[in-house]
């Protein structure tokens, strides 16, 4: 497994994985209308271009020269990092790829001097259990209005890197 920083020309790959991953992940949680709305809101070409050109660092997970997942993170404070996104091609789940990504993210954070990683995850997403297995704790709950009458009903999860080493 290799990880490489994503560039603008990788946007179609990120969009393809997002479209493939979102429906199996959220079909029991979100309506199709909300899924379409959120995919456009979060994965439109211009949105991704702005993020890749900002402080958000996108990476691709590469296996046998094929992108099988992506993740995005940002150092938001000198001691805190936000994991914005982590998605895998559904065919790659339960193969240890997610654990390898989290290990990479932890090491990235430690090298950057970060003490805590934070992420938001839908309360009904099975990934909650994955994050807990990886050492994240549920810190709080958050309901975020994302427009068009939709909300994200999330846990904010945190991983203390000082105790995770």
Q: What is the pLDDT of residues 28-64, one digit of tens each?
A: 888 889 989 999 999 999 999 999 999 999 999 999 9
pTM: 0.91
Q: What residues does each domain of the chain span?
A: 2-120
- Give Cβ neighbours of residue 68 (< 8 Å, ≥ 6 apart): 17, 61, 62, 88, 89, 91, 92, 97
- Give Cβ neighbours of residue 72 (< 8 Å, ≥ 6 apart): 51, 56, 57, 58, 59, 83, 84, 85, 86
The pairing of beta strand 116-122 with beta strand 80-88: parallel
Supply the pLDDT for residue 29: 87
How does residue 165 score in pLDDT terms, banded at 50, 70 and 90?
low
pLDDT in tens, 73-111: 999 999 999 999 999 998 877 788 999 999 999 999 999
Supply the pLDDT for residue 164: 56
Q: Which CATH class is domain 2-120?
A: alpha beta
């Amino acid at each position: 497994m290799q990880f490489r920083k994503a560039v603008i020309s990788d946007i179609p790959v990120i969009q393809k994985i997002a479209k493939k991953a979102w429906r199996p992940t959220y079909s029991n949680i979100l309506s199709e209308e909300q899924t379409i709305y959120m995919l456009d809101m979060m994965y439109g070409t211009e949105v991704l271009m702005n993020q890749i050109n900002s402080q958000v660092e996108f990476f691709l997970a590469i296996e046998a020269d094929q992108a099988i997942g992506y993740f995005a993170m940002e150092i938001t404070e000198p001691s805190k990092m936000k994991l914005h996104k982590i998605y895998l091609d559904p065919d790659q789940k339960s193969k240890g790829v997610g654990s390898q990504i989290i290990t990479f993210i932890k090491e990235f954070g430690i090298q950057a001097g970060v003490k805590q990683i934070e992420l938001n995850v839908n309360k009904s997403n099975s990934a909650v259990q994955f994050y807990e297995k990886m050492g994240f704790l549920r810190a709080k709950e958050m309901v975020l209005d994302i427009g068009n009458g939709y909300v994200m009903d999330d846990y904010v999860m945190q991983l203390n890197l000082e105790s995770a080493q």
